[in-house]
Structure 1
Amino acid sequence: MAAEAGEFHRGDAAAPITLGHNVSSEDEVTAVLDRATAAGGTVTGPAERRDWGGVSGYFTDPDGYRWEVVHNPGLSFAPDGTITFAPPQA
């Protein structure tokens, strides 16, 4: 994972985990990374298309927690927050 996400930059209380944040579009991945940077975070892995077909990028927040921002084209989000997963078509 370090090759994709970068090394951990720990704060005093940061756990060695990666938190995930799913978004509804590829463009939103970059937008969230930009907002994280503006809020004092550090991008540790730019938004890129992944082998599994989605787009993701990573940042470390000011407290040292690492986040993956991901758009999975197989996920859809309903207005009530329900998530539906559709496996990729072969």
Structure 2
Amino acid sequence: MLYFSKKYEATKFVVLKQNYRSTQGILDVASKSINHNKSRISNFIPGLSKELVSNKKFDSQPDLFICKNDIEEKAFILDQIKALVET
């Protein structure tokens, strides 16, 4: 998209900001994670914002777990699955 907008300078971007699937909490965590991406298009096009707004009436905050490596991540997921099966 960046190449296209440079080649065709009259390009107009239309950003869809309304999200109908996720809660605002999930969108906020995703945004914080994605904002660390230096090659994100909104970093190169002035005035372009990719902040999504949830259409959901209720809001729940997701739990974020940071693992040191793939092995720790797999062990964590396995423990979560075991706990869910036991309940």
Q: TM-score, normalised by structure 2?
A: 0.35
**Structure richer in strand, relative to its length:** 1
Q: TM-score, normalised by structure 1?
A: 0.34
**Structure richer in helix, relative to its length:** 2
| Higher gyration radius (CA) | 2
